[in-house]
Amino acid sequence: MTAGLAHSQKVCFADFKHPCYKMAYFHELSSRVSFQEARLACESEGGVLLSLENEAEQKLIESMLQNLTKPGTGISDGDFWIGLWRNGNGQTSGACPDLYQWSDGSSSQYRNWYTDEPSCGSEKCVVMYHQPTANPGLGGPYLYQWNDDRCNMKHNYICKYEPEINPTTPVEKPYLTNQPGDTHQNVVVTEAGIIPNLIYVVIPTIPLLLLILVAFGTCCFQMLHKSKGRTKTSPNQSTLWISKSTRKESGMEV
């Protein structure tokens, strides 16, 4: 594991439809990487720097970051590179927002800029804000909105991968936990996590459950059969004893 890397876990989904993701977070500022370094790190593992197709995917990433930085993990402030960038020099600020493109070739037009962003100029690469301890700005807390930054700045990053047939880490319950004041119900996470996971737990246990039921039924049948046998012999034995007793008493009277 790279020095200073506090958390780097690849998360996949059991439905095989959603992409896999990896949040690479570094405790030490000196271990964080530039935009190009983050891009190469993702590509070296068969992925790409994160592109976001719509608001649902944005909310999914937010829920993962909330789980990543929950109390007790020791993870705090630190923005994350995503795959949006601008390749051009000397562009006016009016045309600037339209020049941003995804490094993986995605045609998604979804954007989640912070207030007054992008500022353009020499800032051409985009981060997702993650500064939970910072005082809110004009656009609110610096959490999950996007900001353009200089490409040589050092940040954490998020990778995105094609769905895996055999997921390495299925989504778990912590990702479903909504933060106080969070109105989003994480519908995408629920669909991809809890129900498929239950299916994958229950299906393999069906043969074992059937075997247990057969064994239990056989045992009950044998016990019932023995019980009937005992019931049949008991009355005969009782009658025979009474009969012998009666004959003796009759003889005595004579």
C-alpha–C-alpha distance, residues 195 and 215, integer Å:
30
Q: What is the pLDDT of residue 220?
A: 81
Angstrom distances, CA of residue 139 to CA of 117, 118, 172: 10, 13, 32
d(CA 132, CA 188): 24
pTM given for the model: 0.63
Structure token pair of residue 161: 């991968």
Query: CATH number of the domain that 29 lies in?
Result: 3.10.100.10
User: What residue has token string 């990487």?
Assistant: 33
Rounding to the nearest 10 degrees, give the CA dihedral for residues 133, 138, 143, 149. Answer: -100
Q: Which among 48, 47, 44 is positioned nearest to 84, based on CA atoms?
A: 48
Q: Sort 110 into a burial class: Cβ within 10 Å, 0-12 / 13-18 / 19+.
A: middle
pLDDT of residue 202: 56
The span from the first CA to the last CA of the chain, in angstroms, equals: 108
Instruction: Answer yes or no: is 181 within a domain.
Output: no
Q: Which residues in the chain come in under a pLDDT of 50? A: 1-3, 90, 167, 169-200, 233-254
pLDDT in tens, 75-133: 778 999 999 999 865 455 558 889 999 999 999 999 999 998 998 889 999 999 999 88
Domain assignment present for residue 26? The answer is yes
Number of domains composing the chain: 1
pLDDT of residue 71: 65
144 domain residue, yes or no = yes
Going by DSSP bridges, is the β-strand pair 156-161/80-86 parallel, antiparallel, or unpaired? Answer: parallel
- Give the span between the Cα atoms of 198 and 200, in whole angstroms: 5
Is there a domain that residue 191 lies in?
no
- Is 252 a member of any domain? no
pLDDT of residue 5: 54
Within a domain: 147:
yes
Q: What is the pLDDT of residue 237?
A: 46
- Asked if residue 228 belongs to a domain, the reply is no
Kindly list the distances between the CA atom of residue 99 and the CA atoms of 114, 125, 163, in Å, as whole numbers in the listed order.
17, 11, 29
User: Does some domain include residue 97?
Assistant: yes
Give the domain range for residue 111: 6-161
